[in-house]
């Protein structure tokens, strides 16, 4: 038989049980941070971005003028950036450091200077 005392015990235990569930790893996944990078003849804007180790990052890549490439060899990323289309690339950096990205589709004189850096902080 459930009496008033039993009901009060259950009500007192409920917040403790829900707190334990959160403590054992049932917490939500970290939010994905969006970083927008625009490409146009000979430059990426911004040319430097930052992230943290273990932080999920969504790179939203767009082109203002022509097809460009986006390559970040240290994270094995490579995609085309087509004008009028936002290309999304997700990564979660697993180490700290400074990592280069660059255009790998020739776009004219000055192409060799088209690059940027992602600084990943520990």
What pLDDT, in 10s, does the model give residues 13-57?
555 555 544 555 556 777 999 999 999 999 999 999 999 999 999
- The encoded tokens of residue 11 equal 């009500």
Report the CATH number that the domain containing residue 73 is assigned in CATH: 2.60.40.420
Residues paired with 69 in a beta bridge: 80
Domain for residue 26, yes or no? no
Q: Is 3 within a domain?
A: no
User: How does pLDDT run across 65-92, given as a tens digit for each residue?
Assistant: 999 999 999 999 999 999 999 999 999 9
The whole domain housing 86 covers 33-121
| Structural domain contains residue 102 | yes
Q: Is residue 54 part of a domain?
A: yes
CA 4 vs. chain centroid, Å, equals: 51
Neighbouring-strand partners of residue 89? 59
Global pTM reads 0.75
Residue 14 in any domain: the answer is no
Distance from C-alpha of 1 to C-alpha of 9, rounded to nearest angstrom: 14
Asked whether residue 27 is domain-assigned, the answer is no
Q: Kindly report the CA angle at 108 between 39 and 83, in degrees rounded to 5?
A: 35
Q: Which residue has tokens 């986006």?
A: 70
Query: Residue 48: inside a domain, yes or no?
Result: yes
Domain count, the chain: 1
Q: Rounded to whole angstroms, how far apart are CA atoms 117 and 101? A: 6
Tell me whether residue 82 is in a domain: yes
């Amino acid at each position: 038989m459930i009496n008033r005392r039993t009901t009060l015990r259950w009500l007192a235990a409920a917040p403790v049980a829900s707190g334990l569930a959160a403590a054992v790893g049932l917490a939500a996944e970290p939010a994905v941070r969006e970083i927008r990078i625009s490409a146009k003849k000979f430059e990426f804007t911004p040319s430097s971005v930052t992230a943290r180790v273990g932080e999920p990052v969504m790179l939203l890549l767009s082109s203002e003028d022509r097809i460009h490439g986006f390559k970040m060899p240290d994270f094995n990323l490579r995609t085309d950036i087509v004008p009028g289309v936002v290309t999304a690339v997700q990564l979660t950096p697993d180490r700290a450091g400074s990592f280069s990205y660059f255009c790998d589709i020739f776009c004219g004189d000055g192409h060799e200077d088209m690059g940027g850096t992602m600084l990943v902080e520990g």
